Structure 1
Amino acid sequence: MESPYLSTVATTIQTAIAPVFLLAGLGAILNVMVGRLARIVDRARKLEQLHPSSTGPEHDRHVWELRLINRRISVINTAIFLCVSSALATCLVVALMFVSGLFSLHVGGIIAATFVVSMVLLMACLIYFLFEVRMSLGAIHVREELLELEKR
């Protein structure tokens, strides 16, 4: 005969599949953001090496880009923090589902609220990520003087 706890665990596992898939997605997003952070840091180190030997407009460009990089690091760090917080809230949802199922607790409202918090944190994470991507575009554009476009 099957234990009532075993059927409860099996049912809870089936119900917890969606938040577990969400965790996989959050891991992928986190991986992308950490990769961006690494590239930002690499660029900052390169500019820090070039900075002392640069002069004139080139020096000004390095200072401008270093300031932009400094802001980008802050923004991507915030996005990473929000993504990890969303993942932790999602883990809490799964844990609460199991505790609720095993001990017959009626905490559906708490589970729902925790899931909403996880989604709000994810949305904030994606907004910060989008903002950082938009900031990076400012440094990527080729300066007009290098394009040597004909003046009309």
Structure 2
Amino acid sequence: MEHRPPLPPFTLETAIAKVRAAEDGWNSRDPARVVLAYSEDTWWRNRAEFVRGRAQAQAFLERKWQREQDYRLIKEIWAHSDNRIAVRFAYEWHDDAGQWYRSYGNENWEFNEFGLMTRRHASINDAPIKAAERKFFWPLGRRPDEHAGLSELGF
């Protein structure tokens, strides 16, 4: 069985590391890479869409990043327990017409003993913004360590 450290049970330190690893993965916008953090039988609720298994998760992410262009994401831990982590997040993106959005949400995650995410519940709201209102300006990919997080940005 594949392992994806850090493994549960989570401490605050390891939960924060898990959150940052997830943020880094999603900021890669590489669906084949991202789904490796999820169990083969992963179960997601993303908004009103239900995803079952890695293949569906990868197809979901491919559609997502075709639609959500220039995607940049910040995640922040909200709470954790032995094998669960709750996060809040915000990401910025634009559509084909050039309209920018900031999407805000919360996720609840559950992990198996190998550190793979088995359940992901995401609630997300999209707010149209003007390009001048954007806050996430790093080059596409991993958010630099010195870039402000959600709390520092006032989100």
Does TM-score exceed 0.5, indicating one fold?
A: no
Higher relative CO (CA 8 A, sep ≥ 6), structure 1 or 2? 1
Instruction: Return the structure number with greater strand share.
Output: 2
TM-score by length of 2: 0.22
Higher share in helix: 1
Normalising by structure 1, we get a TM-score of: 0.23
Q: Give the number of the structure whose alpha-carbon radius of gyration is greater.
A: 1
